[in-house]
Structure 1
Amino acid sequence: MEIDRERLAKNFIELCETDSPSRHEKQVSLLLKDIFTSLQADEILEDASNAITGSDCGNLVIRFAGSLDLDPIFFSCHMDTVEPARGVEVLRTGDVFTSKGETILGSDDKSGLAACIECMRVLKENNILHRPLEFVITTCEEIGLIGAKALDPAMIRAKEGYALDSTGFAKVITHAPALNRIDITLQGVAAHAGLHPEWGVNAITVAAKAIAVCPCGRLDDETTANIGTIQGGMASNIVPETVTIQAEVRSHNQQRLDAVTREITAAFEQTVATWKDHTGQAKGTPSVQIDVREDFPIMALEKESPVIQRVAKAAESLSMHLVYEKGGGGSDANIFNGHGLATAIIATGMTNVHSTNEQVELQDMVDLTRLLLAMATEQQS
């Protein structure tokens, strides 16, 4: 199965130079539809998730029926890129791709897309028998996985798959934490800071007391917590009336996730409940409103699971050594696993992502394509 390196490189550059910042993925979606139509996809479906995400297009699910009597699998990538992402110009130095420096490159996640396309081109042009394949291509991954969250999982026929979306190479992410987001609004009482400060309730100082007793940082091998933003106050001569705080908790352990989330919310609730007006002149008391929402669920795949054994077997057939890791971030794979679709994350070779120093090497994309082909055909050589 000969991979056309230059064709892969050309396609990767075309994808990167087709702008697709989050919520503006339509042009790359149209390009993908054209490419997969030319590859005689059996079905190309676009959902109506844009009504939820605010994107200018929906998620894509592309199906190839295959001819081997093997279980279907899916490969997933996302279309969108982080900013600055407009007017991308790719600079190729040997077999290393970067942007010209004013924008990101877009290898996150177009390196995965390019490998998927080359995989199907190789299968088609050589009439190679393969299992049923689906390509699940989402919008708005970079702004909270909202494309995947809006995708109806019933659109995906395969029960197992692989998200091609991680830095490094020859790496498989088997575990990723769940994330709870915590939005806190602490209400005090405004007053003139010079004339009548005792009439006010300083929301910032109340919040500071709560934050001081909140768990923060790495709490154990499985759990982290962070107070990420704090905003409040109008001017130095006004006792601040309102403070808004954004916090998060991540954990590979659901019980710890819930416990640390409760600890943070309790810190604010107890601080407000035990507040004392030492002057006796305050024109009110503090209050707090807390909103906790699960951003994505835990992802946990054991090495003995079929989805991991398949990629391990494919890598072995290629004499490719894989490493298996626990991740600390979230991806579309968390969402798919939450729907009962066992999904591992495979690294694509991209590095320095979310920066203007982003880069990827052609050989890594070639080797990723080889791995996809091995899983598509279950080759044993």
Structure 2
Amino acid sequence: MDVDSERLAATFTELCETSSPSRQEGRISRLVQRVFSELDPLEIIEDDSSGRTGSQCGNLIIRFAGALDLEPIFFSCHMDTVQPGENVRVQRDGDLFTSAGDTILGSDDKSGIAACIEAMRLLRESNRPHRPVEFVITTCEEIGLLGAKALDPGLIRAREGYALDSTGMARIITHAPAANRLTITVEGVAAHAGLHPEWGVNALILAARALTLVPGGRIDEETTANFGTISGGAASNIVPERVVIEGEVRSHSMEKLTRVTDDIRRIFVETVAAWSDPTGAARGKPRVQVDVHEDFPVMALAPGHRVLRRVNAAAQSIGMHLFYEKAGGGSDANIFNGRGLATAIIATGMTNVHSTSEQVTLKDMVDLTRLLIALLTETSY
């Protein structure tokens, strides 16, 4: 079964040139629904998640019956993009797709959606029997996996699937870390910095002291910590009374995730508690609050898991050699795995994502389409 590469290219271009920054996915949702509706699905469901995500639309579940007596699987992609993602214009140079240069391209994750569409078109045109399949197209992935978090897993009949959302090609992601998001608020006391600085308690200095002591960067081969933003203060002549720091901890080990998070909390609490007033004139004492939000759970598939055996057999049937790797980032697959839906991540060929130099080749999207068809039609696993 030969992939119609030019049709795939046209589909990909139309998807990319349909703007869909996070929470503005209405147009791309309508386009995806229209295209899939022409392929005789059992049903197209748009869930009610928009009230929780703030998106213009809900997640989509597009269900197809299958003539093969095999268990259903699902493929997941996300329809939103990062900014700058308005008015994307796709440039094609032979096999290579890029943007005009002042926006992202949108191959993250429209390369995955395009491959799903082309795979179903080919199966419908050829009348080739395939297993039951669902396409789960989420919103707001790029801003915290919000669509997947708001999705009722009971809407998905398949218990196993594949998220098409990673860089490179022929890569299967089997592990991804859990993450805690941290918001640390240090409260001091405001005072005029020139007239009465001794009345104040400088929250910024206390925060800086703690930041020099906490673990950061690469902790070990499984664990990282980062502090990404710091904000506070009112003016250079006012002792800053409040500083807010946003950070995160990630680890493939839940024990390490908890330990590093607790270490950060302890260091900030101890640093603030150790504050002393050298003049005795301060009009208050400092306080600190460390809020921890569980951002996404760990993803870990055992080497012999059926979802991996299936994709390996499918790849072998088309002469593709796969590489199995651990990732450092989170995706919708973390959420699905955490809710009992075994999910591996398949790379789509995209590179330089989240930048204006993002690109993907047609060959990689063709190969991805071939792999999806093999996953749907092979009966040897």
**Interval containing the TM-score (normalised by the shorter chain):** over 0.9
Q: Which residue of 1 aligns with 2:126?
A: 126
Residue identity opposite 1:282 in structure 2: A
Q: Which residue of 2 aligns with 1:4?
A: 4
* Root-mean-square deviation over aligned CA pairs: 0.8
Q: Tell me, in whole angstroms, the C-alpha distance in 2 between the residues paired with 1:27 and 1:20.
A: 7
Q: Secondary structure, in 3 states, of the residue corresponding to 1:57?
A: coil
5+ residue gaps, structure 1: none
1:18 aligns with 2:18: yes
1:338 aligns with 2:338: yes
Q: Secondary structure, in 3 states, of the residue corresponding to 2:205?
A: helix
Q: Tell me, in whole angstroms, the C-alpha distance in 2 between the residues paired with 1:195 and 1:18.
A: 57
Over the matched positions of the two proteins, sequence identity in percent amounts to 67
Residue identity opposite 1:186 in structure 2: V
- Native 8 Å contact 1:314 1:379 kept in 2: no
Alignment of 1:54-203 (within 5 A): 54-203=54-203
Q: Secondary structure, in 3 states, of the residue corresponding to 1:229?
A: strand
Residue identity opposite 1:200 in structure 2: G
Q: Secondary structure, in 3 states, of the residue corresponding to 1:325?
A: strand
- Native 8 Å contact 1:16 1:106 kept in 2: yes
Q: Tell me, in whole angstroms, the C-alpha distance in 2 between the residues paired with 1:136 and 1:201.
A: 52
Alignment of 1:178-257 (within 5 A): 178-257=178-257
Aligned length: 380
Give the Å deviation of 1:19.
0.9
5+ residue gaps, structure 2: none
Deviations 1:51-77 (A, max 9, x none): 001110100000001011111100000
Q: Secondary structure, in 3 states, of the residue corresponding to 2:123?
A: helix
Give the Å deviation of 1:366.
0.4
Give the Å deviation of 1:303.
1.7
Q: Tell me, in whole angstroms, the C-alpha distance in 2 between the residues paired with 1:72 and 1:316.
A: 20
Q: Tell me, in whole angstroms, the C-alpha distance in 2 between the residues paired with 1:259 and 1:51.
A: 35
Residue identity opposite 1:101 in structure 2: G
Q: Tell me, in whole angstroms, the C-alpha distance in 2 between the residues paired with 1:144 and 1:252.
A: 18
Deviations 1:151-202 (A, max 9, x none): 0010111010000000100000100000100101110001111111111101
- Native 8 Å contact 1:179 1:295 kept in 2: yes
1:276 aligns with 2:276: yes
- Scaled by the length of structure 2, what TM-score is found? 0.99
Runs of 4+ in 1 over 3 A off after TM superposition: none
- Native 8 Å contact 1:317 1:379 kept in 2: no
Give the Å deviation of 1:232.
1.5
Q: Tell me, in whole angstroms, the C-alpha distance in 2 between the residues paired with 1:363 and 1:281.
A: 71
Give the Å deviation of 1:273.
1.5
Alignment of 1:284-303 (within 5 A): 284-303=284-303
Give the Å deviation of 1:230.
1.1
Residue identity opposite 2:111 in structure 1: S
- Scaled by the length of structure 1, what TM-score is found? 0.99
